[in-house]
Amino acid sequence: MKSLVIRDVDPQGADALSLLNEASVDARALYPELFVGATKFATNEPLCERGVYVVAYIDGCPLACGAVRQLSMTDAELRRIYVHREHRRQGLARAVLLHLVGEAKRLGYIRLVLETGSKQLPAMLLYESMEFKRIPPFGEYANDPTSICYERLLDADA
Domain segments of the chain: what residues?
4-157
pLDDT of 76 strictly over 60? yes
In this predicted structure, what is the pLDDT of residue 33?
67
CATH number of this structure's domain 4-157: 3.40.630.30
The pair phi, psi for residue 66, each rounded to 5°, is 180, 165
pLDDT of 157 strictly over 70? no
**Residues with Cβ < 8 Å from 152, sequence gap 6 or more?**
101, 111, 112, 130, 131, 132, 133
In this predicted structure, what is the pLDDT of residue 158?
47
CB atoms within 10 A of CB 17: 18
Q: Is there a contact between 55 and 64 (Cβ–Cβ < 8 Å)?
A: yes
pTM equals 0.88
Give the pLDDT band of residue 37 (cuts 50, 70, 90).
low
Give the pLDDT band of residue 19 (cuts 50, 70, 90).
confident
Beta strands 75-83 and 111-117: pairing type?
A: parallel
pLDDT of 25 strictly over 80? no
Beta bridge partners of 27: none
**Residues with Cβ < 8 Å from 121, sequence gap 6 or more?**
none
Give how far Cα 88 sits from Cα of 26, 60, 85, 123, 153, Å.
Answer: 13, 17, 6, 11, 26
Over residues 115-133, the mean pLDDT reads: 93
| Cα–Cα nearest to 151, from 110, 118, 119 | 110
